[in-house]
Structure 1
């Protein structure tokens, strides 16, 4: 079963350096980078746990305890949905705007509301945990708001120990912003 949210577009990875935005269909939401090994490993472990819970549900069902089996199947379904949602987390772009997908909440910023997308040096969380270190983050500045939370960080689950991948993803997000963010009229800054 193909999982399109797991892979970045192949043309981006093949190194189309002469084209800033190598995507042919810009109306489709896509993540301009692959999910990192930390994110994939955690999802694999959760899916492994879900498979054990499903086997347990089968054993409970064979023992004719339908309520216990149903509860185990529901718990396994929650684990599977959580693993897939964790894989979808990250920054997504299209001709419509930029989307920051979290575990529980997704926020979409249309290009008309985006002021700038840039890479800055700032304290960032390591793997989303409370510990923070000095690192790089790609931040989005909305036109009528202050700076929003980071879209990407170099110490996140996708880019920890992958500095080159972070630079490539940051450059791609900034290229999308350069193409689609319209100039602000004078006096509106």
Structure 2
């Protein structure tokens, strides 16, 4: 079963000078692959879900169908959580920029984007409260104050930890989408 949200489009990995090498630019796409930390955590969570599903079958065979239903429901919630974890990130299309968090998704139209810029600043390490010095891709909006600048990507999040070159490619790709659609 193909999982299109798990892999980035191969065109972003090409060495061409074409920044936006797609025919269908209205389709939402993530301009980078999910990192090993994100995929590893999702795999461990799915392994836990398989144990829960196996436990639900055993509980159902012992005669307690209602308890098996509860365990099955918990397993399904764990599976949905793992799939949502894999979708977390920045997505782009001709309509705008979409920031997908675990519980919340925000979309900003390109005409509301003032700038996308990479800056050196303290960033969260794997989303935890601990901060380290790193790079961040910031979204500056036209309709918001300059002190309320959301961070889109960092060099120390689950997608780019110890992958500085991947962060550079991803931030350049997002900035290229922004330059193309803020112009036109």
| TM-score bracket relative to the smaller structure | over 0.9
- Aligned pair count? 182
Q: TM-score, normalised by structure 1?
A: 0.94
Residue aligning to 2:173: 172
Q: TM-score, normalised by structure 2?
A: 0.96
The alpha-carbon deviation at position 33 of structure 1 amounts to 0.1
Alpha-carbon RMSD: 1.0
The alpha-carbon deviation at position 15 of structure 1 amounts to 2.1
Q: Does 1:160 align with 2:134?
A: no
Residue aligning to 1:100: 99
| Matched residue SS, 1:4 | coil
Residue aligning to 1:9: 9
Mean Cα displacement is larger for which, 143-152 or 21-30? 143-152
Contact between 2:12 and 2:173, CA under 8 Å: does it hold in 1? no
The alpha-carbon deviation at position 14 of structure 1 amounts to 2.5
Q: Does 1:39 align with 2:54?
A: no
The alpha-carbon deviation at position 148 of structure 1 amounts to 2.8
Contact between 1:11 and 1:22, CA under 8 Å: does it hold in 2? yes
The alpha-carbon deviation at position 22 of structure 1 amounts to 1.5
CA distance in 2, matches of 1:40, 1:139: 24
| Matched residue SS, 2:20 | coil
1:35-184 equivalences in 2 (<5 Å): 35-146=34-145, 147-182=148-183
| Matched residue SS, 1:23 | coil
Deviating runs (4+, > 2 A) in structure 1?
A: none
* Structure 2 stretches lacking a partner, 5+ long: none
CA distance in 2, matches of 1:39, 1:121: 23
CA distance in 1, matches of 2:111, 2:118: 20
Residue aligning to 1:187: none
CA distance in 1, matches of 2:80, 2:15: 33
* Structure 1 stretches lacking a partner, 5+ long: 184-189
